[in-house]
Amino acid sequence: MESVKIHKNFGEHLRTLRETAGLTLREVASTINVDSSLLAKVERNQRPPTRQLIKSLASFFNTNERELLIEFLSDQIAYKILDEEGDLDILKVAEEKVSYLKTLHNGNDNDKK
């Protein structure tokens, strides 16, 4: 039974983008004005991308910035949970909190208390 790798993390995703485009690290790095060593680390998930880097990359690869951002944030969250040895309950609670806080924001002026 072969298991398929469903989920790419940010770095892998990025590497795929680059390789699909047939470009080297240096090429990409230089046109978006970062050190190629940094980009290499990002591709190997040894360094997190900054917001600005995500923007630059999305624009360079002509891809959806939001999608890249989701890739990155979900990585961050997933790895945080693993390393805190937390479980999926945390996400459930977080989800409820997000939903709740969003309804508050939406002009729905309920008591904050």
List of residues contacting DNA (CB under 7 A):
24-27, 33-38, 40-41, 43-44, 46-48, 50, 52-53
Query: Is 21 among the residues that bind its own copies (CB under 8 A)?
Result: no
Is residue 104 within 8 Å of 112, Cβ to Cβ? yes
Amino acid code (one letter) for 43: E
What is the rounded radius of gyration, in angstroms, for the C-alpha atoms of the chain?
18
Beta carbon of residue 83, minimum distance to its own copies (angstroms, whole number):
10
Measured over the CA atoms of residue 69, residue 56, residue 10 and residue 78, the dihedral's sign is: negative
Stretch that binds its own copies, among 23-31, 32-40, 42-50, 104-112 (CB under 8 A): 104-112
Q: Which of 45, 47, 96, 106 binds its own copies (CB under 8 A)?
A: 96
Instruction: In whole angstroms, give the CA distance from residue 90 to residue 102.
Output: 18
Q: Which residues bind its own copies (CB under 8 A)?
A: 2-3, 5-7, 9, 69-71, 73-78, 80-82, 84, 86, 88-91, 93-102, 105, 110-113
